[in-house]
Chains A and B, each alone.
Chain A
Amino acid sequence: MEDLISAIKKVLEQVDVVLGWARSEAAGVAAPAFFHTPAEAEGAIFDSTCVHNLAVHLPRLADKKAGIVAKGCDARSIAQLIAEGIIKRERVTVIGVACPGVIDVKKAWRCFGFGKRVSDSGGQVAMEGKTVKREEILLRKCRGCREAGPVIRDVTVGEVGKAPAAPADPAGIRKRFAAMSFAERRQFWQDQFSRCIRCYACREACPLCFCRDVCTMQAHEPGWSGGATNSSQSWMAQLVRISHMAGRCTGCEECERACPVGIPLMLLLEEQNAVVEELFGYRAGSGTEAKTPFLTFDVNNDSWEQER
């Protein structure tokens, strides 16, 4: 923690604000924090409850010089924001941290009860006497983590270089979904989206959903989805978001984590990311110069329809 605090203090000499985490005493886990002064930076922490993707705040700080503490997955979002020209590389200082994988805080609360202080050491997550193996409550994205450290970083804290070792996903909903017929999947989504309350938390938590003032999910014109909270309109609204994330989603899983009713949005985004990678060999957030595959084309090699 000392390394992180001194790194933040050092970066603060050159920037207006550093985005990081501090402990929330009320919730017992990490909460996002804005550090403006070295004194504030004393409270900085990084542990496996630092789940949030802080890159979501960067578009709103585009007129300031900002520092940001970033895990591997967060750095991808920052790289994608830079590649899309939303933020400028020279205005953001990335403090890359070595990430051991973060935990699903909701699962931890289910194990321990809300509001108790969570501590984490040596693969065990503990709280008031109770312990759970960290790998049992890891966030799902960490199980398939391919990040050997943050893709862009100006300062590095800790030893980066390899992705956290984690057991494979215990399948569950993914396995069930894969076995479903087309009709069953339609029914599945209809059931899932009947719970949607149209709070747009998925959009607010997404670092790449930055056009909030004119969001098509919500706009009356051209009226893609209407404003009602019925299953088909909510479904259409989500399809708007998912199609706008094509070739841009870095898979940080913030939408699914933020969803208050637990709709498994990543089933669709993961599928889309896999298709984009298969068709174009492209992963969003791989670099600051990358071009989204849907803004370009390849006359000679784009010929999938000839196979049919």
Chain B
Amino acid sequence: MTEPTTRIIGFLCNWCSYAGADMAGMSRMRQPAGVRIIRVPCSGRVDPLLVLRAFQEGADGVLVSGCHPGDCHYGSGNYFARRRLELLKRMLPALGINPERFHYTRVSATEGARWAEVVSAITERVKNANDND
């Protein structure tokens, strides 16, 4: 019997991480298959409620990935996102969700290898997150 897939919803910025993930695929890099990618125009588009809804609908983990500081296509979207997502991450314990299930990170369009690494590391952390702590 195969191990159940760890389902992670990935909200990826169109201008960087989405292309980075594409690069990882095109370069045939090995990476966990459980990430379901939703392309968004900017990490600043990711309403914390989208993340909470994903958890409510049964996601094991949620990953938001956007541009490095200074690289935002729109100038400042990732800076606003950073504040909101940090608040969300710290609120998760009170909502009954292990914060290890939620990650936000930065991957640029050229960092295919980094994307593969990030996804592997995060899948591992989500898999090990224990809700009975």
Contact = CB atoms under 8 A, between A and B. Distances in A.
A189 B95 contact: yes
B79 A299 contact: yes
Contacts of B108: none
Contacts of B49: 224, 236, 239-240, 243
Interface in A248-287: 267-268, 271-272, 275-276, 279-280
A181 B87 contact: no
Given A181-B131, A182-B133, A276-B87, A268 B94 contact: yes
Nearest to B79: A297
Interface string A201-221: 000000000000000000000
Given A239-B49, A271-B91, A186 B79 contact: no
A302 B81 CA distance: 11
Interface residues of B, number: 29
A268 B90 CA distance: 11
A267 B86 contact: no
B98 A182 contact: yes
A224 to B, nearest CB: 6
A189 B97 CA distance: 11
A297 B91 contact: no
Contacts of B56: 232, 235-236
Contact of B97 (A186, A275, A294): A186
Q: For the complex, would chain A's binding face be called helix, strand, loop or mixed by DSSP majority?
A: helix
B110 interface: no
Nearest to B85: A305
B87 A272 contact: yes
A240 B94 CA distance: 15
A192 B98 CA distance: 20
Interface of B: 47-49, 52-53, 56, 69-70, 76, 79-80, 82-84, 86-87, 90-91, 93-98, 104-105, 131-133
Those 10 A-B pairs whose CB atoms lie nearest each other, nearest first: A186-B96, A185-B96, A297-B79, A183-B131, A182-B131, A271-B94, A275-B90, A182-B98, A181-B132, A304-B86
20 contacts: A181-B131, A181-B133, A182-B98, A182-B133, A183-B96, A183-B131, A183-B132, A185-B93, A224-B53, A235-B56, A239-B95, A268-B95, A275-B91, A279-B90, A294-B80, A294-B83, A299-B70, A302-B83, A304-B82, A305-B104
Interface of A: 181-189, 224, 232, 235-236, 239-240, 243, 246, 267-268, 271-272, 275-276, 279-280, 293-294, 297, 299, 302, 304-305
Given A183-B131, A189-B95, 8 more contacts: A187-B96, A236-B53, A279-B86, A280-B83, A293-B83, A294-B80, A304-B86, A305-B82
